[in-house]
Amino acid sequence: MTTYTRFFLVLVTALATFTAPAAAQSGLDFPAASPPAMVRDQVGLTTVEIDYARPGVKERTIFGDLIPYGEVWRTGANAATRISFSSDVTFGGKPVAAGAYALFTIPGETEWTIILNAAPEQWGSYGYDTSNDVVRVNVEAQTLREPVETMRLGLDHIRSDSAHLTFAWDTTGFRVPIEVDIVAQLKPQIEAAMTGAGNDKPYLAAAMFYYEHDVDLDKALDWIDAALVQQPRVWVQYRKGLIQAKRGDVRGAKDSAIKALAMAKDVPGELGAEYQRLSEALLESLEG
């Protein structure tokens, strides 16, 4: 891209900025060249929000031309892309405190640098200052199977303790892992709830959280037994077998799976069929 071309693009952006108020005063609405978008997802107990504008390819050569390699980019159009986390996270393997950040990138042919910058409210990357960088991570540039006309940012592979920040535009993409310490967030709340007075406690949910995150399988077993008293249902009995199997109690897990299978046969419809299949699969896994 020539110096003149870049100057022209900056000029067009500036003109659009200054003429927008006039258009608003006229009472006319015009479509945005790069429409705004917001992504809001939950990763465990952490809310992640992304605010950005979505430019289109529009028959242009994007990376290496419109967006030069090796230069800081706003990762979108108009204002700098903004990403926020409601609690502390690990971003690309590096700790990041809860808060809002500008998401800048430095595109490369084979590798991108992803930057979280502590000045989220800025126009483009014209005021970018490296002294405000919180983290920088390098990720592999991916070649997409199919080109993406309108730039897309989002979260994918969402689990209770992790997700991927994903980017796709034209034929290029990247992803950055995000992790949250869901155990540190939730375990104190679970312990407080389970040691409190009364019997109306989330025994099943607490047992399965400890099971899934390998926190304390002995407590998980105690709580699933209490859950069976509350709800003597096939899905609870089956999950007791899962906990026993993870604890290494093969005989106990088999007994629970056999009980769940018998209960499932008395449950009509798809639910009964589903737990028959699950119980049989658990039994088969325990035979090895």
Q: Where are the domains of the chain?
A: 32-179, 182-287
Confidence at 3, pLDDT banded by 50, 70, 90: very low
In this prediction, residue 25 carries a pLDDT of 58
The string of pLDDT tens digits covering residues 66-95 is 999 999 999 999 999 999 999 999 999 999
Q: Which residues contact 157 (CB under 8 A, 6 or more apart)?
A: 163, 164
Q: Are 141 and 109 in contact (CB under 8 A)?
A: yes
CA dihedral (255, 257, 260, 262) positive or negative? negative
Give the global pTM. Answer: 0.80
Listed in sequence order, the DSSP H helices in the chain are 3-25, 182-194, 203-212, 217-230, 234-247, 250-264, 269-287
In this prediction, residue 16 carries a pLDDT of 46
Confidence at 199, pLDDT banded by 50, 70, 90: confident
Confidence at 10, pLDDT banded by 50, 70, 90: very low
The string of pLDDT tens digits covering residues 17-59 is 444 444 455 678 888 888 999 999 999 999 999 999 999 999 9
Mean pLDDT value across the chain: 91
55 Cα distance to chain centroid: 23
Q: Which residue has the tokens 């009509």?
A: 268
CATH architecture type of domain 182-287:
Alpha Horseshoe (1.25)
Rounded-to-integer distance, Cα 277 and Cα 134, Å: 49
